[in-house]
């Protein structure tokens, strides 16, 4: 039942997102539960949705997914999903005018000043829902590497990315995402929020949390000012056990993290789960701009 839908533009993430799974999807779907595409009335769930690369892929390739549930702790990101689902036209109108203003600036210095003005407004002004979403998308497309990082006071602090003509307003993509989001229930909060929305039928949950650093002693990835440390990884394991008890199928991505004493962290934590390694391309040496292959893990309860 895996199908290509006949959209001119294929639904995919409307933002760049750190840890985005776009390049790994073909490997991920190899590990879906057996006979996944023969299940009826599947509910697809992503409690750490981010840019939603896997979500959009699944929604466009598996017509047996009758409903989806997504969640992320980043409220402004979730506000964009909600607006694209419910009122994409108002978002497009504002994004289009921001794009025109940006493109009409004739030097990169003027574009930079424009970027910092919007960042200032995003951080400090009372904004409407539409403004918040449009500024969030504009900043994502024009900031350095599409990063989302906030300081200790919760202010977005990523510098300008020096792009001349970034794709600030992809109208076709927003309208395509709008169509596929119609069967998605969208929530903002900690991942446990999804528990109360599970269905009685076949629940498939793809969990893509902030990764544990490769070695136990490295520093932690920070998406918001919420730090996902080892205590959080362990609570997430308890959550997975609870979902397993409820009969949900779970697939989790995480790093192939090895503790300083040489013990593979996730093999020990998830010792009753199935763990497979997949290949990921990462910038390991940022200065040399060198891409190297690294393995990461898929942890499954089936």
Of 70, 300, 108, 298, nearest in space to 193 by CA = 70
Q: Which of 136, 202, 223, 273 binds ligand SAM (CB under 6 A)?
A: 223
Q: Examine residue 146 and tell whether it contacts ligand SAM (CB under 6 A).
A: no
Please provide the DSSP assignment of 85-131 as one string: HH-HHHHHHHHHHHHHHHHH--SHHHHHHHHHHHHHHHHHS---HHH
Angle in degrees, CA 217, 220, 225, rounded to 5 = 150
Among 122, 187, 228, 266, binds ligand SAM (CB under 6 A): 228
Q: Site map for ligand SAM, 167-206, x if CB under 6 A?
A: -----------------------xx---------------
Rounded CA separation 224/186 (Å): 19
Least distance to ligand SAM from the beta carbon of 163, Å?
20
CB of 78 to ligand SAM, least distance (A): 9
The reply to whether 56 sits near ligand SAM by the rule CB under 6 A is: no
Residue 226 in contact with ligand SAM, rule: CB under 6 A? yes
Of the ranges 2-10, 51-59, 93-101, 290-298, which one interacts with ligand SAM (CB under 6 A)?
51-59
Q: Which residue, 100 or 229, is less far from ligand SAM as judged by CB? A: 229
The window from 68-76, 79-87, 161-169, 281-289 that contacts ligand SAM (CB under 6 A) reads 68-76
Dihedral of alpha carbons 107, 110, 114, 116, sign: positive
Q: Give how far the C-alpha of residue 7 lies from the chain's centroid of Cα atoms, to the nearest Å.
A: 22
**Half-sphere exposure of residue 215: CA atoms within 13 angstroms, side-chain side:** 5
CB nearer ligand SAM, residue 48 or residue 102: 48
The span from the CA of 217 to the CA of 211, in Å, is 13
Q: Does 114 bind ligand SAM (CB under 6 A)?
A: no
> Residue holding tokens 């694209």?
84
295 binds ligand SAM (CB under 6 A): no
| Helices then strands, each counted (H, E), the chain | 9, 7
The residue ranges that bind ligand SAM (CB under 6 A) are 17, 19-21, 47-48, 50-51, 53-54, 71-74, 190-191, 208-210, 223-224, 226, 228
């Amino acid at each position: 039942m895996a199908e290509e839908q006949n959209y001119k533009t294929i639904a995919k993430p409307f933002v760049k997102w750190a840890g985005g799974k776009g390049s790994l999807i073909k490997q991920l779907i190899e590990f879906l539960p057996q006979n996944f595409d023969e299940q009826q009335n599947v509910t697809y769930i992503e409690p750490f949705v981010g840019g939603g690369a896997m979500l959009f892929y699944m929604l466009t390739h598996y017509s047996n997914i009758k409903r989806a549930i997504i969640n992320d702790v980043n409220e402004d990101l979730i506000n964009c999903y909600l607006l694209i689902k419910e009122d994409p036209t108002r978002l497009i109108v504002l994004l289009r005018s921001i794009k025109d203003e940006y493109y009409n600036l004739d030097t990169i210095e003027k574009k930079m000043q424009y970027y910092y003005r919007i960042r200032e407004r995003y951080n400090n002004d009372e904004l409407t829902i539409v403004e918040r979403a449009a500024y969030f998308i504009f900043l994502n497309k024009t900031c350095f590497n599409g990063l989302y990082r906030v300081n200790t006071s919760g202010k977005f602090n990523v510098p300008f990315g020096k792009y001349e003509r970034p794709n600030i307003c992809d109208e076709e993509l927003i309208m395509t995402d709008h169509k596929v989001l119609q069967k998605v229930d969208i929530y903002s909060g900690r991942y446990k929020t999804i528990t109360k929305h599970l269905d009685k039928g076949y629940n498939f949950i793809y969990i893509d949390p902030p990764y544990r650093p490769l070695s136990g002693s490295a520093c932690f990835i920070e998406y918001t000012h919420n730090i996902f440390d080892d205590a959080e990884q362990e609570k997430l394991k308890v959550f997975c056990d609870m979902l397993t008890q409820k009969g949900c199928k779970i697939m989790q991505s995480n790093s192939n993290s090895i503790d300083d004493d040489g013990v593979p962290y996730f093999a020990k934590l998830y010792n009753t789960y199935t763990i497979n390694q997949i290949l990921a391309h990462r910038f390991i040496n940022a200065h040399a701009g060198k891409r190297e292959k690294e393995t990461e893990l898929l942890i499954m309860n089936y």
